[in-house]
A and B are shown apart, each in its own frame.
Chain A
Amino acid sequence: MITREDIKHIADLSMLNLSEDEIVKYTENMKEIVSFANTINEVDTKNATESAFALDTYNVFRKDEVKESFNREILLSNAPSTNGEAFSLPGMMN
């Protein structure tokens, strides 16, 4: 059962300031999401092997070979603010 306290806690972890209206709205949204996800609990898994993955795939590896990195301009183009070299944020330090 999702409570408004859960929503406030998650908002805190995500560093979001929610208004009272938003808390009410997201509490309802989250209840729906969780109850939808709970549908899976109805499946009978008595004879299934425990696994975190849907596929029986393992050891998907890559060789340790350097590939060319991305063009910085393109990488930075998604950011709302940059100094041309780095992503720029409001002051986080001090």
Chain B
Amino acid sequence: MEYEVVIGLEVHAELSTKTKIYCGCSTEFGGDPNTHCCPVCTGMPGALPVLNEKVVEYAVRAGLATNCEIARESKQDRKNYYYPDTPRAYQISQYDLPLCAHGHVEIAVGNTEKEVGITRIHIEDDAGKLVHDGYTGGTLVDFNRAGVPLIEIVSEPDMRSAEEAVAYVEKLKGILEYIGVSDCKMQEGSLRADVNLSLRPVGSEKFGTRTETKNLNSFRAIARAIEFEIARQKEILDAGGIVYQETRRWDDETGEGYATRNKEEAHDYRYFPEPDLMPIRLSEEYIQDIKNSLPELPESRKNRYVNEIGLPEYDADIITSSKYLSDFFEAATDICKNAKAVSNWIMTDIIRIAKEKGIEYNELPFSAENLSRLIMLIDKGIISSAIAKKVFNEMAESGENPEIIVKEKGLIQISDEGAIKEVVDKIIAANPQSVADYKAGKDRALGFLVGQCMKEMKGKGNPQILNKLILEYLNN
């Protein structure tokens, strides 16, 4: 049978506040176990939580940037569950009055654009970390992450494929980075997603039974876990079986998902209003101030790149998906005034280098200034594009100023007609057959001759002049 895939995501993002959500402990990543802790974040009896005002501000920023309505009146609730990473035996979250609701973002997959609805965004605290103790076989608990503020962004079940789900998370990541509320470092777990997925026969209105695969912390894991779960549910349904509503985990090493034991998910959270924390009331003025302080968002930058600069939509989409890349693009364009060239370098070599090295764009070793220097060397005819590729690779290793690379390696383009003519004469004399071929109408012979000359000049010949001189000879 043909099925339609229905996917909704819950994305958790750690907010980049200096301190935890309810106490003054630092949120800094790393640190010796239990050194960023106090009675509040380790759940000691009688400790009183006090809400960090930045958490509210950041959540409202995220809500406004994703077209949400902001609640004028909101509160926090206890979500009760018993697990050793949660020292109070409850998480403080928001139940019926989240800070933000009814938003949406635009995503693009291939040439199709669609809107993904955002049901709600609420604030909550992160849990501690359980570490297996190889020594005793026991479990060690580190509460450094306990109490780090999170926003949970819950989507509508609007996605229909792994590609759409990944595009959605990429879009959210871009937005959160732009507005500076989360560093979104997926490998440190500061952005992670739970995938709700079900299948239904094509044409059916009714949703199938969904499963929830929790805690995916890379785009690759999200895509693979979704493909796995689609195949698993399809096989069950095709065999006439029943998909059970269950919580699942993804093992990135084996490439398989598995159901968590039933006991662990006997969830009955018994939410009730958190009596230690007073309600949140936001004024029109407060919300308007945050709205005014939002930077230009990826969507708007993208439109500007397409309409004002003339970049292809796809390129504009890729560049604006990362704040770093987009800032890099603007800074380099500002200097060299050649937006198309900057965009081409980003779309080809910069993306390639980041992939090859397995690094984030902000870890690239060279600056926007150095890329624009490279582009200006080409634009002024000092180096050829072929040589520029070599200089780029060099720059991607050392981060060195391309002007210095070119000087040190003697890569300056030869534009002197006399010098080029010498080479042309030599190559033509050595290849009478190619000359005859060209005159007999075989255009390919021209490319061969140009290539031979370039080789002789170690790639440094000015290609326009070289072409001109060879053609002058051949057409006489």
A interface vs B, CB < 8 Å?
A: 9, 12-15, 52-53, 55, 57-70, 72, 75-76, 78, 83, 85-94
**A61 to B101, alpha carbons, bound, how many Å?**
22
B84 at the interface (CB under 8 A from A): yes
B290 → chain A closest CB, angstroms: 15
Contacts of A87 in B (CB 8 A): 34, 84, 140-141, 143
Contacts of A76 in B (CB 8 A): 34
Give B contacts to A, CB under 8 Å: 17-19, 23-26, 32-39, 42, 44, 50-54, 56, 75, 80-82, 84, 89, 130-133, 135-143, 263, 266, 268, 273, 275, 277-281
A70 and B140 contact, CB distance less than 8 A: no
Residue of A nearest to B286 (CB): A59
- Interface pair A88/B133, CB less than 8 Å apart: yes
Measured between C-beta atoms, what is the minimum distance from B268 to chain A in Å? Answer: 6
Of B54, B75, B142, the residue contacting A64 (CB under 8 A) is B54
Distance of B48 from chain A, by nearest CB (Å): 10
Partner of B139, one of A14, A68, A75, A91: A91
Q: Chain A residues with Cβ under 8 A from B131's Cβ?
A: 86
A62, B130: Cβ atoms closer than 8 Å = no
The 25 listed contacts between A and B (C-beta, < 8 Å) are: A9-B268, A13-B80, A13-B82, A14-B89, A53-B275, A58-B281, A61-B50, A62-B52, A64-B17, A64-B18, A64-B19, A64-B52, A66-B24, A67-B38, A69-B25, A69-B26, A69-B38, A72-B34, A86-B34, A87-B84, A87-B140, A90-B139, A91-B132, A91-B137, A93-B132
Q: Which of A57, A62, A86, A91 contacts B53 (CB under 8 A)?
A: A62
- Partner pick for B84 among A12, A52, A67, A92, CB 8 A cutoff: A92
Given A67-B19, A69-B25, A14-B52 contact (CB < 8 Å): no
CA–CA, A94 and B280, complex, Å? 41
* C-alpha gap A9/B82 in the complex (Å): 13
Distance A15 CA – B82 CA, assembled complex (angstroms)? 7
A88 touches B136 (CB 8 A): yes
Q: Are A89 and B141 in contact (CB under 8 A)?
A: yes
B75 — which chain A residues lie within 8 A by C-beta? 52
| CA–CA, A90 and B84, complex, Å | 11
> How distant is B315 from chain A, measured CB to nearest CB, in Å?
38
